[in-house]
Amino acid sequence: MKVQIMGYGVVGKAQEFLMRHLEHEVTVYDPYIFPERKLKRDVDVTFICTPEGHVEEALQTLIKNNVEGLYVIKSTVPVGTTKILSEKYNVHICHNPEFIREKHAFDDVINPDRIVIGQCCDAHGQLLFDLYSPLKKPIFVTTSTVSELTKLVSNAYLSTLITFWNEIAELSQALNVSVSEVANITCADRRISKYGTSFFGKPFGGSCLPKDLNHMIDTFKRYGLNPILFEAVRRYNDALRRKVE
């Protein structure tokens, strides 16, 4: 299959690595990094891996240059974005979020826990299903709205776990006990995740968790809901960041 990667940051590099691993014909387009390269028009799929704020601009570039094939947004975007852009430009667009850690992107992209495909139609959903099926990992084909929300929910959950254990660390310090010991004993329960137990007093940061938590909060408010838990997580993390700076 002829695959084009648009945007060559962490996500774009990981997607290129995966597509080459799966033995597809891959080209990369990023005018900021490879100004000499031109867009390929005759491709089967173009993965948009640009920063969130450049997704619509990237889509406009593809349409303006009559790039063939399916357009797939891999960037994390606010819920509803894929559907809105698809209707606005009258083109088929799928959403296919990444679930990679920046420092382990290549390992994560070829050994994913699951693959999520927010399809625009059955035919394009099947195209992406076939593309990823050689990985022999669980593939969930759903709507783009569910796909977009799943990405935000995943990161909001991780942010909440980090904040949970940071609060336990604060209490443990006040009680003069080892938070590591408390965590080890607590996490012996198979129902309880160990994620977040390596932070202990360190706020979450990076390019994804804070941004996606903000998107989650905004989505709640857009539908008239009160994100009490997630706003508390953000307040605590912001205060912790100011404390350790």
Q: Active-site positions?
A: 208
Q: Which segments of the chain does DSSP mark as H helices, in order?
A: 10-21, 55-64, 81-89, 105-110, 122-132, 144-175, 179-186, 209-222, 228-244
Structure-block tokens of residue 245: 């700076």
- For residue 16, the one-letter residue type is E
Alpha-carbon distance values, 72 to 6, 64, 236 (Å): 10, 16, 35
CA 207 to chain centre: 10
Pair 123, 31: CB distance under 8 Å: no
| Cα distance between residue 52 and residue 54, in whole Å | 5
CA 124 to chain centre: 20
Pick from 2, 10, 140, 138: which is nearest to 75 by CA? 10
Pair 151, 77: CB distance under 8 Å: no
